[in-house]
Amino acid sequence: METLEAMGFPKAQASAALAEHDGSLERAIEALAARSALASAMREAALRVPSELVSELLDYVTRLAASPTDSRLRVVPIEGQAPLQRAVRAGREVLELAGFGPRSGFLSLPTVDDRIEIAREALDNAARRAAPEKDARARAAETRRQAASVPAEPAQGARLSFELPSGRASRFFDADDTFARVVRFLATLPDTPDDFVDGRTWRVVCGDPPFFWCDAWTLRDDGTRRIFEEKHASQTLKALGLWPSATISFGTSPKPATPPSTHKKLSDIVMRVEARFDDHQPSADKPHYNVAKSVPNVPGLARLLAMGFPESQARTALKRADGDLDQAIRFLL
């Protein structure tokens, strides 16, 4: 065992090889060397599988390794445009190294052995190496998609330069373009916040027309030192003094705007409602405020009636809440 480990073979594989060959070191070394050569060939073949297909092939081989007796998984069609068939064609070399052979338009595997696990490891390695490339393609596609939503750059007009964290950028705009169009252009750049849902970054302002505004940055005119605000979005570049040219610096807002909460604390509601009755007693012509006449030993009912809720609704709410006063108040509100 020490010899095999010193040669660089993993301990688990070395132990299994010795057990399989009745302790024969020479035969164990031959088996481990063959396995190592096969693994190396599979890794190289897996790296040649297109990155957009390697995950599909890895998923298939993983399912096969988990269910080696499932005959349906040991036969896979080659022809067709389904993702799996495309992945099988692209990764055919890996599958054949794992024991698959051609059979009337299919690849079939007579027996599942440890070569499938070697193939799975090779494809997993390829998938992990392909992940950054896949992410980069996705980012590039998103950049193209966002850029397509911005009107084409005019040949001449107001030339704006932008000082961004990643460097300097510039673009022409029409003099009668609004500042909102500049903001929309900046949204396509990687330096700017990309979340159009979170109210702390991008939001839609219901102007005429509506426009996007970002609260997570500051935009400053380097010439006038003016900080642009939401009110400037509907003004033209010429009116803002950004024609024929200007430089705008980008910075992170220290305190992103947080939309005011419309949810009031229950304790505040209770205190405000009860305060309405502090300075006067219930009158006789309003029986639902008359706690003494409306409380047949129902816990919490007096409190609700004193807050001004109708007796029938208060009773119903308490019943729904199983006597929990706070929950009953929530139902009534």
Determine if the peptide bond prior to 244 is cis (ω within 30°): yes
Give the integer Cα–Cα distance in Å for 302 and 275.
15
pLDDT mean over 64-90: 91
User: In this structure, are residues 141 and 227 in contact, taking their beta carbons and an 8 Å threshold?
Assistant: no
Q: What is the pTM of this model?
A: 0.39
Residue 90 has pLDDT above 90, yes or no: yes
Sort 292 into a burial class: Cβ within 10 Å, 0-12 / 13-18 / 19+.
exposed
Q: Which of 105-109, 138-142, 149-153, 264-268 has the lowest mean pLDDT?
A: 264-268
Give the integer Cα–Cα distance in Å for 69 and 110.
10
% of the chain with per-residue pLDDT over 90: 29
Sort 83 into a burial class: Cβ within 10 Å, 0-12 / 13-18 / 19+.
middle
User: In this structure, are residues 294 and 305 in contact, taking their beta carbons and an 8 Å threshold?
Assistant: yes
Please tell me whether residue 285 adopts helix, strand or coil conformation: coil
Residue 115 has pLDDT above 80, yes or no: yes
Mean pLDDT score across all residues of the chain:
76
Amino acid at 177: D
Ordered by start, the domain boundaries in the chain are: 2-144, 158-252, 266-332
Name the fold adopted by 158-252: Ubiquitin-like (UB roll) (3.10.20)
Please tell me whether residue 165 adopts helix, strand or coil conformation: coil
Q: Which of 10-24, 69-83, 302-316 has the lowest mean pLDDT?
A: 10-24
Residue 228: the pLDDT is 94
Please tell me whether residue 168 adopts helix, strand or coil conformation: strand
pLDDT tens digit string along 305-321? 766 677 788 888 888 88
Q: Which residue has the tokens 């950049």?
A: 143
How many residues are present in the chain?
A: 333
Give the integer Cα–Cα distance in Å for 255 and 257.
6
Give the integer Cα–Cα distance in Å for 213 and 203.
6
Contacts of residue 19, Cβ cutoff 8 Å, sequence gap at least 6: none
First and final C-alpha spacing in the chain: 74
Q: Which of 72, 125, 71 is nearest to 94 (CA)?
A: 125
Sort 42 into a burial class: Cβ within 10 Å, 0-12 / 13-18 / 19+.
buried
Residue 122 tokens read as 């090779």
How far, CA to CA in Å, does 305 sit from each of 175, 235, 262, 296, 331? 64, 55, 26, 13, 14
More confident residue, 136 or 55: 55
pLDDT mean over 40-55: 90
Residue 189 tokens read as 């750049």
pLDDT bucket at 28, cuts 50 / 70 / 90: low
Q: Which of 130, 237, 145, 132 is nearest to 182 (CA)?
A: 237
Give the integer Cα–Cα distance in Å for 307 and 329.
10
